[in-house]
């Protein structure tokens, strides 16, 4: 090799070595420019990947694999590996299978231990094997779901990522319309869409930097293969965007880019149409099997439960296991499977990601002069919810204090002996069976609901107002952009155009936004970029919207290319935004019937049915208790010897209604009340996810509203029905039977 070439190579090798750093500092990421060293996306991806703490699930899987290594079947192994890579979990398929197997082994061992202890500590009955058998059955049934946890996590990841895909394609098309560079267009999209799709796209650059692929196209195509089975229109749109790079004529290049966005929007609409048509049956099954039938089953449960010769405590635990653990889990899994089939949607941006200063509005703010006192709503909600819920424990406290009194023809709390007689403190008592205990128990689920609702209400009340204002701005923003594009197309300076459009749209959110930009330029004398994006006074921080921010970034970028380019870009953005809004509204219209049905279940059907069932159950338990007391107390009239057969038959009836075997309606109500809370939260989550995708702010806001509505209605219905039915029972003269 010639000496001069050697000198040049040595010179630049020395320069490169001096610039390469062993550690990634925040300053290196923040100050990165595309012309220097590794890409910013590579640095960010590496920082997020290496600094992320492992979740509890990942730690459990890795620990389980070290204890007992289980390898799944080849087909399951490939499926698990694919989903683990999708959501970037720090585990392998063996770890997931080992965790599931070890969990099942522990549960089976505990079940056998519980059965052995219960048999050894008291007389053997078939009923004592009920709980161990249920636990063993559950352990066997959950083996597959536990193994498939990475699949559920990956489905959630795909749902969140797919909600960002329309905007991702929109941002790339908006950028590449005026600058035909895929790498910069991809970076522009990454800046604005946020995780998890931004993290996936950063990995595209990561794979180039680590040498896995030699070009951006190869790395991007390899990533798109993972979406081929889940979102084909996203893959097709990206291929069209890649194809636009090979078009020599400007008009054809722009048409290909617009076609890419059309493919994405049309594909979204078509898939949502099929999804809405196929959603009705699964939701009906979910409603009937998960809500209606279990609640209606409670009506016959007291009578059926009293016929089983098992202690009431075991039956209560079985009910708790079934209604508060197994059923909510099953409903949640079915709901997740429904959501897994949901096509691409339109995600809502996280306000705190756009402006971290807004996070203070999640607290209760009290102004003390010039200072602001921020109080975490958790403690306020906990104190208020606990204060109300503790009223539901009063029946137990009254029993321990020995206090009871007459209410609706029987004792208020009504604890009884095995023979049905009133029970005094210090004796072996069963209950509480009284209507008063049921009425007080209603405060327990009400307190829990108020605590959760208040917590979410305080954390979202101000942010949801800001979100609604931003939505109003987004709705009319396309019209404002169109006007702005026309003004700039008439060779009016950009700064003046902002003022004119702001004046013409005065009183609207868009007019206020444009006017603020114009006032910043006029009064402060700042540049257009600073007037919009300055962290102290920029207009964009008052309206934290990804769509508006991206549109303004395009405006700032295109001002360097002349007014004609600016005008065309603004009018194109206006068209794109309008089209996305039309498709989004049509999608909501397609899903409106299903969403309306689920909302009625949350706010009306479930609490009313549950409240009526609690009242009927309290009445049945009251009747069973009085019959048991009446029959066992010998108050039945016995005639001559010919009546001995009837007495013997009545003795058999007495054994059916043993007080120790009757489930107190007090505990039934607690289980049903908590079940209503769980169903309200799960159904609200499903409704929000079907309608909006992953939108945590709106989800929490809806939970706060639905819990208050649903549990308030349940409280009133259960209270009224319990009073009415127990008044009817008190009017029956059992002594004359």
At 707 the pLDDT is 93
In order along the chain (737 residues), what is the average pLDDT of each group of 10 residues? Answer: 56 53 42 43 54 72 87 87 84 89 89 78 64 80 87 82 81 81 86 80 83 86 86 89 87 88 82 75 78 76 64 78 86 79 58 60 75 83 93 87 78 79 77 86 94 92 80 77 82 84 83 87 84 82 74 77 76 74 73 77 84 85 71 50 49 59 85 92 86 79 92 93 85 58
At 49 the pLDDT is 53
CA distance 705 to 702: 5
Burial annotation 612-651 (CB, 10 A radius, 16+ → b, else e): bbbbbbbbbbbbbbbbbbbbbeeeeeeeeeeeeeeeeeee
Both tokens assigned to 177: 């319309």
CA distance 326 to 168: 39
Which CB contacts under 8 angstroms, 24+ apart, belong to 514-522? 514/480, 514/484, 516/542, 521/495, 522/495
pLDDT tens digits for 383-442? 999 999 999 998 888 888 878 778 777 788 888 887 777 787 777 788 788 888 899 999
At 640 the pLDDT is 44
CA distance 125 to 376: 51
Which ranges of 424-542 would DSSP assign to H, the alpha helix?
435-441, 443-489, 494-504, 509-519, 528-533
Both tokens assigned to 512: 């206020």
Task: With beta carbons less than 8 A apart as the criterion, state whether 61 and 99 touch.
Answer: yes
Both tokens assigned to 170: 């929109």
At 1 the pLDDT is 47
Return the ∠ at Cα 54 (arms to 49 and 59), rounded to 5°.
140
Rg (CA), the chain: 33
């Amino acid at each position: 090799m010639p000496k001069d070439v050697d000198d040049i190579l040595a010179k630049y090798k020395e320069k490169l070595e001096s610039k390469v750093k062993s550690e990634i500092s925040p300053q290196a990421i923040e100050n990165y420019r595309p012309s220097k060293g590794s890409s910013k996306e590579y640095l960010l991806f590496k920082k997020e990947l290496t600094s992320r703490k492992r979740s509890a699930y990942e730690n459990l899987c890795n620990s389980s694999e070290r204890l007992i290594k289980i390898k799944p079947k080849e087909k399951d192994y490939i499926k698990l590996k694919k989903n683990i890579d999708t959501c970037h979990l720090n585990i392998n398929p063996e770890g997931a299978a080992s965790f599931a197997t070890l969990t099942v082994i522990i549960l089976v061992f505990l079940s056998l231990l519980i059965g052995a202890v219960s048999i050894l500590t008291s007389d053997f009955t078939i009923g004592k094997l009920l709980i161990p058998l249920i636990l063993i059955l559950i352990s066997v049934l959950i083996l597959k779901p536990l193994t498939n946890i990475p699949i559920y996590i990956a489905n959630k990841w795909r749902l969140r990522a797919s909600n960002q895909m329309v905007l991702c394609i929109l941002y790339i098309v908006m950028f590449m319309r005026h600058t035909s560079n895929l790498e910069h267009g991809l970076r522009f999209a990454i800046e604005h869409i946020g995780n998890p799709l931004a993290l996936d796209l950063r990995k595209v650059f990561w794979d180039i930097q680590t040498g896995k692929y030699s070009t951006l196209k190869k790395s991007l195509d390899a990533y798109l293969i993972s979406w081929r089975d889940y979102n084909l229109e996203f893959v097709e749109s990206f291929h069209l965007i890649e194809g636009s790079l090979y078009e020599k004529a400007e008009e054809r290049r722009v048409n290909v880019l617009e076609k890419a966005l059309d493919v994405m929007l049309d594909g979204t609409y078509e898939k949502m149409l099929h999804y809405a048509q196929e959603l009705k049956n699964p939701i009906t099954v979910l409603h009937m099997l998960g809500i209606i039938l279990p609640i209606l089953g409670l009506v016959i449960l007291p009578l059926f439960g009293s016929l089983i010769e098992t202690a009431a405590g075991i039956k209560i635990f079985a009910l708790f296991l079934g209604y508060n653990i197994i059923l909510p889990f099953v409903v949640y899994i079915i709901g997740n499977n429904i959501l897994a089939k949901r096509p691409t949607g339109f995600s809502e941006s996280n306000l705190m990601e756009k402006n971290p200063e807004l996070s203070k509005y999640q607290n209760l703010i009290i102004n003390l002069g010039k200072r602001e006192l921020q109080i975490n709503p958790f403690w306020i909600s906990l104190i208020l919810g606990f204060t109300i819920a503790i009223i539901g424990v009063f029946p137990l406290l009254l029993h321990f204090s020995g206090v009871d009194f007459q209410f609706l023809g029987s004792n208020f709390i009504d604890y009884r002996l095995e023979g049905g007689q009133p029970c005094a403190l210090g004796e072996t008592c069963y209950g509480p069976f009284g209507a008063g205990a049921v009425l007080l128990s209603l405060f327990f689920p009400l307190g829990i609901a108020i605590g959760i609702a208040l917590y979410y209400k305080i954390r979202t009340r101000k942010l949801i107002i800001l979100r609604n204002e931003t939505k109003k701005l987004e709705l009319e923003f396309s019209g404002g952009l169109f006007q702005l594009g026309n003004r700039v197309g008439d060779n009016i300076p950009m700064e003046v155009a902002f003022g004119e459009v702001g004046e013409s749209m005065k009183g609207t959110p868009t007019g206020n936004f444009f006017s603020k930009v114009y006032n910043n330029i006029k009064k402060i004398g700042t540049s257009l970029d600073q007037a919009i994006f300055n962290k102290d006074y920029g207009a964009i921080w008052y309206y934290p919207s990804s769509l508006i921010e991206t549109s303004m970034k395009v405006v700032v970028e295109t001002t360097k290319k002349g007014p004609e380019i600016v005008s065309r870009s603004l009018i194109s953005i206006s068209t794109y935004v309008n089209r996305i809004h039309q498709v989004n509204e049509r999608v909501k219209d397609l899903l409106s019937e299903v969403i309306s049905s689920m909302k009625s279940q949350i706010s009306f059907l479930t609490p009313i049915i549950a409240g009526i069932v609690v009242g009927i159950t309290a009445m049945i338990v009251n009747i069973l208790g009085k019959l048991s007391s009446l029959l066992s107390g010998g108050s039945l009239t016995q005639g001559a010897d010919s009546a001995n057969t009837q007495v013997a038959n009545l003795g058999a009836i007495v054994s059916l209604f043993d007080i120790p075997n009757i489930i107190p309606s007090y505990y039934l109500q607690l289980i049903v009340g908590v079940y209503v809370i769980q169903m309200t939260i799960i159904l609200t989550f499903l409704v929000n996810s079907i309608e909006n995708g992953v939108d945590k702010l709106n989800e929490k806001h809806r939970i706060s509203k639905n819990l208050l509505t649903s549990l308030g209605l349940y409280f009133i219905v259960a209270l009224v029905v319990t009073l009415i039915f127990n008044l009817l029972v008190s009017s029956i003269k059992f002594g004359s039977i």
